[in-house]
Amino acid sequence: MVASDLTMPRNVRRIVKEASQELYNEKFSPAVRAANAIEKIEEIISDSNIPSFARTQLWLAISLLETIKSGQV
């Protein structure tokens, strides 16, 4: 949703798309893919240009990815 929101800054949309693509990289295990996506999202999470609702969505995504990374899924 954040990646397709045109009100979002372009660099934020780009990073979110890259994080999404990391999840489909079949060269790595699901835990590594999740860790790579988290790393991408954390690059932009503190950007002051991100609206608060989008930051909340990104934190939610990180928490979901953390469960995958820890193997709880």
pLDDT digits (tens, 9 = 90+) for 21-72: 999 999 999 999 999 999 999 989 988 888 888 899 999 999 999 999 888 6
| pLDDT band at residue 9 using 50, 70 and 90 as cut-offs | confident
The reply to whether the predicted model has a pTM over 0.75 is yes
Distances (CA, A) of 22 to 18, 19, 30, 53: 6, 5, 10, 23
10-27 confidence digits (pLDDT tens): 888 999 999 999 999 999
What are the structural domains of the chain? Answer: 10-69 (1.20.1440.50)
